[in-house]
A and B are shown apart, each in its own frame.
Chain A
Amino acid sequence: MLARNTDRLKILAFTLGSAALASCLLLLASAPDFAAALGQFFIAPIANSYYFGNLLAGMGPLIMAGLGVAVAFASRNFNLGGEGQVYSGGLAAALIPLAFGGSSPWVAVLAFAGAALTGGLLGASSGFLKRRLGIDELISSFLVSAVAVLSVDYLIAGPFRDGTSNFQATTPIASGLAFAKLFPPSSLNGGIFIALAAAGLGKFLFDKTRFGFELKLCGANREFAAYSGIDSGFYTTAPMALSGALHGLAGALLVFGSYGAAMKGFSAGTGWNAIAVALLARNDPAALIPAAFFYSYLQAGAQSVQMGSNISSEIMAVIQAVILLFVTAGALPFRMRGKGTRR
């Protein structure tokens, strides 16, 4: 087992190293002043309080949605519907306070519950299709999400649009409800604590509870799980529903924490980012925290470089692609001490 862990570390190092290298190459190719760009990309996110605050703020939704991805992956389900689940969960969280009015904390609780329910229903639909009809949840979750994103786009720009604002967004939620900014002008807010708590809860769930045990077992060996008397049908729908709910909560964190309303496209990319983060963390809820930190660090770097050297933010897309490309490697391009044939 020890050998396997060092192999994993090597792969992780290779992945992170490649991401850093790719970043440097891109900066070299695009930045007018390479040295300055390097500083903006790698140093500013930590040194500058604005960027660092944003870095920490960005971790919250990444951890929450990443937890959702991890729950699905651990049970061998692919939830590719994260984008739609986050977006629609966020919309729910933005609309519920408007329905109830006031800034009682119960409204916030209701909003989060609504976000979780919305995301959960979307996730459950794919799980249900897989359980009953054997339809690949990878494709169905993506398709459902695509429809969901377009639907939310329509709702925000249409029926629920805030007429008084120039933005395409819903009416902002009561300022008493939104999480206080801890470190203005950065977006760091109390939502990060909710996310950290969720990660801790997730770790406990995975490692110590019966539910987590059965879920992981269904992912590891379905036959054996059935043999042991575990209902693997339940562990097809439930993890997808839970995954969707967590994504929905991530959307709520974005609304309550950063934006204060549902703006068109506010959550774009969160779903894919969460997949990258969960893979970096190898589906371990505790490891999600450093993984989200690293990823958010790259994003803050991209933001800083965009402002400082006028480089477009697509640089982040390329780095994200590099990470995703290498992070699931089972082998490395150079010689690895293999263990020979197992017999």
Chain B
Amino acid sequence: MSGQGTAVVLAANAVSAMTPLLLAALGGLFSELSGTLNIALEGLMLTGAFFGAAAASATGSIFLGMAGGSLAAAILAWAYGSATLRLKANPFITGIAANIFASGSAVLLSRRLFGTGSVVTFALKAVSKPLEPALGGIPILGAVLFGQTWIVHASWLAAILSWVLIARTPFGARLRATGANAEAVSAAGFSPDRYRLAAIVISGILAGAAGASLSLPLAAYVPNMSSGRGWIALVAVYLGFRKPWGIALACFIFALAEAYSNYAQGFLGLPPEFILAIPFAASLLALVVGTVAGKVGAGRAGKSVG
């Protein structure tokens, strides 16, 4: 394979792989802006992956699968958020609880419904690539941008819509205000907790979609298949200066690292554990380098709750 061809393939894989990261990170962005650190992204993604695949299998529609995954994760997010806010519990701990619950209940349900607690395969049709026939022929960009599934395109749309919602609507203004100065929000007559909960539910919808975007193309659910992406998504939120375009860039870089390590596994003969560790190590390195370069504030956001 020519060098340029490999680069294009890697880039295309990266753009595809960044989709779950981008969606999860957008979800993390909403929580972060409202002043709470959402640790439950992992669990929400798992829920989305499991229920998304199950819904798609039951209805025969990939779209309904995505919707089902998002809905399931939104419900979990709503439960986790309400419990945290109403009980005034520590959001880090309840987030861990949500993660544990999501992975445990997925296995329990998987055994119940599908008879196995490990990998479940579904009979799903392939996810379509609507722009490929028309634009897939364009050199480089064709493969990288237009040859992607509609889920990938939808994630970009989600990024744009998120920006509009955050920066250009009253809801977004009040959300940002809740994170910046919650007292101002209650002084103005609104309930900061309502906005925090809304942010958590939105992050559930997005993270659920992220999870579904993992399982649907594979047509399978693998236990703990999110393997740390929820955490990387959080790092991406910080590294991206809490702006959608910055986050997208950070996700792309992480996805590129992941794509490269998959590629390298073939010929570098690295042990599989090493490959699996690369995203975590890369995130840590990025966090350190980013902080040292003085560009990023990696401090904890959620001062208002817990």
**A residues bordering B, Cβ < 8 Å?**
26, 30, 78, 80, 129, 133-136, 138-140, 142-144, 146-147, 150-151, 153-154, 157-158, 272, 275, 279, 312, 314-318, 320-333
Contact = CB atoms under 8 A, between A and B. Distances in A.
B87 A333 contact: yes
Contacts of B111: 312, 314
Interface of B: 80, 83, 86-90, 92-94, 96-98, 100-101, 103-105, 107-108, 111-112, 117, 228, 231, 234-235, 271, 273-274, 276-277, 280-281, 283-284, 287-288, 291-292, 297-300, 306
Given A321-B100, A325-B94, A330 B89 contact: yes
A342 to B, nearest CB: 16
B88 A329 contact: yes
> Which of A133, A147, A279, A315 has its CB near the most chain B CB atoms (within 10 A)?
A147
Given A133-B292, A136-B300, A330-B88, A314 B105 contact: yes
A325 B89 contact: yes
A328 B284 contact: no
Nearest to A145: B280
Nearest to A153: B273
Q: Is the interface of A mostly helix, strand, loop or mixed?
A: helix
A150 B292 contact: no
Contacts of A30: 108, 112
A309 to B, nearest CB: 13
Contacts of B281: 143, 147
Contacts, number: 135
Given A135-B291, A154-B273, 8 more contacts: A144-B284, A146-B231, A150-B274, A314-B111, A317-B101, A318-B105, A324-B100, A326-B83
B101 A318 contact: yes
A133 B291 contact: yes
B87 A315 contact: no
A317 B273 CA distance: 25
A148 B246 CA distance: 29
A272 B96 contact: yes
B228 A315 contact: no
Contacts of B96: 80, 272, 275, 324
Nearest to B275: A150
Contacts of B292: 133
9 contacts: A30-B112, A143-B283, A147-B280, A150-B273, A312-B117, A317-B100, A317-B101, A329-B87, A333-B87
A272 B104 CA distance: 13
Given A153-B273, A312-B117, A143 B280 contact: yes
